[in-house]
Structure formats: C-alpha cells, structure tokens
Structure 1
C-alpha cells in the first residue's frame, strides 16, 4: 500500500515527469515498477534513438506540456476532452492522472517482445499485447481496483492506434467506428497517448519538425467520435 500511495502522489503532482525521475534516483521507482531496469536496456531501433525508459519519460513530459498548453485543442473538442480527463476513478485519481501512468508504461512490453533479425535490427512486434498483460499484473500487485487496472491496460494495449491510422491513412467510417466501438470515450486518452508517443519520438529525430499533421489526425478522429459516432 505504501508503494501505491507513493505512485499515486507522483501521478497527482503537477510534474509527474520530475517526480518519477526523483523516485528513480532514489531507487524507489524500481520497487514500484520492477520492469524499468529492463526498459533502460532496450528500445533503440530504426525509429527510436533512446531506450524505452527515456522515451517513456519524454512522452510523459510531452503529455504534461500538451495539456498545459493554452488553446492547444480546437474549441469544439476542448470541453469533451477536459471532462474526460477530469473524470474521477474509483481509485481516487482522475483519468488524466492515470493516463500519465499509461504514457510512462506504454512500452513496458518491449523487453519481453524484443527480437533481432539477420541484419541485427531490433523489432518489438506485439509489445503492446505483452505490455497489457504486464500492467494488469502490475496493477494487481499495487492493489489497484479493477476499473483502474482495466483502463490502464486499455491505454497500453491500444496506444499504437493513432500511429497505425496515420501510416495506413485509413480514416474510413467503418474502420473508425470499429475503433470507437472498442474504446468508447477512452479513445480520447488512447489518442492523446499516441500523439505524445509519436511527437516525443520525432522531436529527437528532427527537433524542428511540425507536429501539426499528427495533431490534425488526432482531432479528425476525435471529431468523428464525438459528432458522428456518439450522436447515432
């Protein structure tokens, strides 16, 4: 219970990014999340120039900066996103606070899913599925309630949806509605995670790259969810 409270206090902090770094320096974070040691040793590949631990911290920092940015979200989306993020869970934390944990843990499955091909290139196929199982067990070990565990697992399991939609450029009604049926309102959290995942990765590859295209994809999907799917 003590470890759970330490983690929850960190998630409720204005800068969870800084709090997790402090916990890591004090060797407490590994007590809470034993897998971070392995995350520090994998993750670098064609798309990532840092390990999974550093990338996850960068993505978390991106989320906190994004949420605090004035007028980041289009006016027709802001109210719904704010209401979603401020929803209080049974655990006593908000969905935004849990989303911060989801962002930090989204690549936790990479160490167990790592393979290396004949050219020496690392792959992490299915890491989101492996990660889902890990965070379920992690949530149970921390004493989280089922609602919190299931939502955290959902964030991790589906964190690649925005990237897949962007790469395939398949924004058809059938494809989007299938996603909406699976995720419901949690598509908001999943897409925010995906946005921060992509942007934090690309900033290291090209600090001057405009993230507006990724944002446009995210907002287009959310607009379809809120103003087409939910109104049926």
Structure 2
C-alpha cells in the first residue's frame, strides 16, 4: 500500500496536475484527479488521459483554464464538462454531478452537485469511484474502491440493479474492465447483469460497438468474452458467439467450437504480439478470429459413422459476420476485412494437404489482398489440435507458404500483378463496348497471368481471342 500511495503522490507532481491544482486552489475551488487515473496509479499501471472533477461550475472552469491552456472547448458543457489542452496534454474537467436517469434512455437528467462523495457514488464501479484531491494529496474513497482493488473485484458503488438500470452500458463495461484489469465480478453484480441484459436495448449500436472494440483490445479479451457469454449479455448483440456452444451428440463427436474459438483468439493475440510487438492491439484481427467459425452451427451435418461436417461454413460465416457488424454500425472497411478473413480462413488447409503451384500461391495472395498478414495470423491461430505431430506439420506447411510468398514477391512483385492487357485493350481487340463482358475478359486475363506468369502481349491477345471465340 505504501508503494501505491507513493504513486499517487507522483501523480500529484505531474506538471499538468500541478498547474491545474494551483489554478483552481487560487480561485477558491476544489480539484481532484478522478476515476481511471487514480485506479491505475494505485495498481501501478500506466496513466493515460487525465480526468478531473471540481465543485466549480462550467463558467468558472472556463475562466480558470483559459489563461493556462493553449486550447479549450465546451462541447460537453451541458453535462458540466470542459476540455482543455494544458502543457500539450488533453484533459477533461467536470463539475460534481448528482444525475438522475429516466430508465428509458441512457441520457441522464443533469444536475450539478456540491459534494464530491455524491459525485463518486454515482459512478460505475467502486474501483473507478475514487478521487485524489490536489494539491492537498488526499484520497477520497467513499465506496471501498481500495479494498476492491486489493481483492481484484468489480462491484457497483450502489445496488447493481439501480446502477445498471440507470445505465445498462455499465454491464458491458464490467466485462471490459474484467478483461482489462484481470478482475473478477462480485456475485450480486454478476447476477444483476444476467437479469437486466434485455435493458441493453436502450443502448445505441454505436456505443455497444465501442465497448466491444475496447474489450477486444484489452490484454485478456477472452476473460471478458466469457463474462458476456455466461451472463447472456452477448446474446443481445452478438448471439452467434453463444451459438458456437454446439450440442454434442453421443454418437457424433467434434471439438468444442466455442472453446476452440477462444483458444484460437488467445493464440492469435500471442502471434500478434510476436509479429507486431510495437503496434496497437488489432481489433479487426481479433474480431475475425473470434467469429471465424460462426458459420458452423448453421452448416453442421451429422454424417454416418459418427462424423460431423461443416461444409461451406466459411462462406456462411462470412455472410453472418457482415450482417452482424453492419447492425453494430462497424465501418465498411472493418466489416469487409472481417468478412474476407472469415471467408478465406480455410483456404490454406488445401496447401497443407499438397504443395501448391506458384499460380495457386499467387491466387492466395491476390484473394487476401491487404488482409494477407491478418490471414497469416488467423490461419496459424486456427490450429488448436493437441496432436503435436499434426500441429508441427501444419506449422511447417505455413512456414513454407510464407517463404514462397516472399520469394515470389522478390521475383515478380506479386502484390502488383496485373493482366498483360488492360480494359481498353480488351475493348479494342474484341470490338466490344464497356460493360460486364469486359470485366469477364479481364478476369480471364488475370487468371492467365496468375497461372502461367508473363507470356507477352501478343500471346495474351491470341489466348483472349481464342477464349472469346470458344465462349460464343
């Protein structure tokens, strides 16, 4: 605990904190660092964005920060929040709040308060309901946040039924903080999450999407996903994940698809960290890995002799993922990437069964496009077999295909492969106007280039004419 207090004292010495603390003190107002920065300082975690709370009203906050900020904005003024840039850092300062909710929307009826304890009690979890008054350097913890930090527990400051009833998004935040901090969730809090899960209907898809992304970008998203599945919360916005828990028939056996998907996610994260150690967590990759087998429940067939098949689950899963991500308002680029990765995730296993020709490797690269590196990671992570010999064989095969891709890139700039004749050439040679037939001819020429390499414009023209004549 002594180390934790020392870290809080160090937080008070941060230049931004010190400048703001002195300015508010000189103006006769209290100021406290609040929420995540206090929690993270006590845990010894890196502190990022600084949030403050104060008894000053928004007009007073603006008056105080204007002389010491290089920029300030009042976009959150109606909620009592003023933003500013101080010493190059962006900060938010919010007047004490004592809000009330109508239970129909997430929008509170904003009421300003005069008491810091009242402000803290209205927050989501006790570990986020602590404040550090500056410059006094006094910790304010009215709901037992320090004890919960020590115990590694997430608990609402008030009755969880009331807290989640006020703002259902807090239930998703519980799963995210569990993943982010490695904390368990207190029993009453967990039970309330399961009971109140239908109230997520009042939360916008954009808000749900944002929490899902933050969870996926955490250190241990699998922990948070288990919380969402166990409470049923995920069924309100991504039911395909729970559906991975396929019923096991006593006469037909296959691996647990749900557990396989979570193991694949853990393996993908490990590979991501090895291959791209200095890059931020890749939420698109992690989402694709989590969802890569969601087509299996729709395609499962119980075959004679105890076998189970999932024919075309890659294509079906890609369509399901696209539809779900669109409903959650994911951007088109992310949606397309996840759908493509799911559709292609089985392609490699044909290579493992027998070495591909160079043309097959070129097609693999072409079809993956800018998702090739993510596909590398997904495909490797998809191998969760306990059979060490099989796992080693698949890993060796994938090492081989990556080496061949690298070699082909050096030889022929594989990423920039184009047909030897373009669309204008096709129209001139075949005497046809722009339209669908030009596209078909172009694809024929691209396949020819991928299959046979460079054959020269004259030979390409001869082959094009022969293809066109045979087509007629």
Name the SS for the 1:35 alignment partner. Answer: helix
**Structure 2 residue 418 is the aligned partner of structure 1 residue 221:** no
* Structure with larger Rg: 2
**Structure 2 residue 356 is the aligned partner of structure 1 residue 171:** yes
Matches of 2:216 and 2:271 in 1, distance apart? Answer: 16
CA contact (8 A) 1:159 1:191 kept: no
Name the count of aligned residue pairs: 206
CA contact (8 A) 2:271 2:377 kept: no
Matches of 2:268 and 2:221 in 1, distance apart? Answer: 10
For residue 217 of structure 2, what is the aligned residue in structure 1? Answer: 12
CA contact (8 A) 1:11 1:101 kept: yes
Shift of 1:225: 2.4
Shift of 1:65: 2.7
Cα 1:210–1:37 change in 2 (3 A) is closer
For residue 84 of structure 2, what is the aligned residue in structure 1? Answer: none
Matches of 1:43 and 1:146 in 2, distance apart? Answer: 36
CA contact (8 A) 1:43 1:110 kept: no
TM-score, length of structure 2 as denominator length: 0.40
Unaligned residue ranges in structure 1 (runs of 5+): 70-77, 87-92
* More contact order relative to length (CA 8 Å, sep ≥ 6): 1
Matches of 2:252 and 2:392 in 1, distance apart? Answer: 23
Shift of 1:111: 1.0
**Structure 2 residue 204 is the aligned partner of structure 1 residue 24:** no
Matches of 2:208 and 2:390 in 1, distance apart? Answer: 39
For residues 5-154 of structure 1, what are the structure 2 equivalents within 5 Å?
Answer: 5-41=210-246, 48-50=254-256, 52-69=257-274, 82=276, 86=279, 96-154=282-340
Cα 1:189–1:148 change in 2 (3 A) is same
Shift of 1:66: 3.1
Q: Aligned to 1:2, which of 190, 207, 217?
A: 207
Could you say which structure has the higher strand fraction? 2
TM-score, length of structure 1 as denominator length: 0.78
The C-alpha deviation readout for 1:209-228, integer Å capped at 9, x for no partner, is 47443223223222332342
**Structure 2 residue 389 is the aligned partner of structure 1 residue 196:** no
Matches of 1:217 and 1:147 in 2, distance apart? Answer: 30
RMSD: 2.6
CA contact (8 A) 2:318 2:342 kept: yes
Greater Cα shift, 17-26 or 104-113: 17-26
CA contact (8 A) 2:264 2:381 kept: yes
Matches of 1:97 and 1:227 in 2, distance apart? Answer: 30
CA contact (8 A) 2:318 2:343 kept: yes
Could you say which structure has the higher helix fraction? 1
Name the SS for the 2:322 alignment partner. Answer: helix
